[in-house]
Amino acid sequence: MRTPFIAGNWKMNKTISEGEQFIDSLGDLPAEDEVESAICAPFIHLPSLLEKAQHLNLGIGAENAHYEDSGAFTGEVSAAMLGDLGVDYVIIGHSERREHFNETDGTVNKKTHAVLDKNMIPIVCVGESDAEREAGDHASVVESQIEKAFDGIPAESAGKVVVAYEPIWAIGTGKSATSEDANEMCGVIRKKVASLYGNETAAAVRIQYGGSVKPANIGEYMGQEHIDGALVGGASLEPEDFMALLEGA
């Protein structure tokens, strides 16, 4: 059985004190074996969030990482640094990074390796654009993204990877995929992982849906066979909404 996993993605939002207030305002979080939960936040938040969440069933994640341990990469933060800090998760290949920061399937692969090497869990984002879906290419686009992201990842690590299926046209638009369509694509992802690593690993990999998920629709997604949770942007910014998402999971 896969434990449901809800992760918030704050993107470039909140000051440090607003982040701390968010944690202070959370109610009782569900037990570890019921729902896994995480907040992924800008780098400056991570030390204070890690401290605040120390005794809570709440993981803390970064929104990106560099794959080199150190070096002349001005403005970057490495997976090695995040691992040393005690970060639990790293979002990799979010469509906003693919679109605005030249993230490619190649860098996604290198980052996935680096994050696993530092004993953190990568949340690898895949998803098609509007045009790719219109052209009927959504399944092949996502299969290719999965194949490249997992390239060279050993079987013993592959099951730890969390995949977030995030159709680009549904992110921050209020236009969510139907739960059936999202489930179909999460099924495509699971089948692809099975073709690479076998059924046992594919059954262990958690696949989230992301794209305008909110308290009102989380239940529909969680009722689907291949959807194990959600990566949530806008609706993870308020503690009441985040708590409602966890309840809905």
Residues labelled catalytic: 94, 166
Q: How far is the CB of 27 from ligand PEP (least distance, A)?
A: 21
The reply on whether position 9 binds ligand PEP by CB under 6 A is: yes
- Maximum CA extent, the chain: 48
Which of 65, 231, 245, 249 is close enough to bind ligand PEP by CB under 6 A?
Answer: 231
Which of 37, 179, 208, 212 is close enough to bind ligand PEP by CB under 6 A?
Answer: 212
Q: How far is the CB of 200 from ligand PEP (least distance, A)?
A: 28
The reply on whether position 8 binds ligand PEP by CB under 6 A is: no
Encoded tokens for 207: 């696949």
CA distance 171 to 211: 4
The reply on whether position 213 binds ligand PEP by CB under 6 A is: yes
Task: Give yes or no for a contact between 162 and 5, defined as CB atoms under 8 angstroms apart.
Answer: yes
The reply on whether position 233 binds ligand PEP by CB under 6 A is: yes
Those residues whose C-beta lies under 8 Å from the C-beta of residue 200, and which sit 6 or more positions away, are: 159
Encoded tokens for 191: 């089948």
The reply on whether position 234 binds ligand PEP by CB under 6 A is: yes
The reply on whether position 208 binds ligand PEP by CB under 6 A is: no
Q: Is 234 assigned to a binding site?
A: yes
CA distance 100 to 61: 21
Q: How far is the CB of 169 from ligand PEP (least distance, A)?
A: 10
Of 22-30, 66-74, 133-141, 209-217, the segment contacting ligand PEP by CB under 6 A is 209-217
CA distance 242 to 223: 18
Task: Give yes or no for a contact between 184 and 207, defined as CB atoms under 8 angstroms apart.
Answer: no
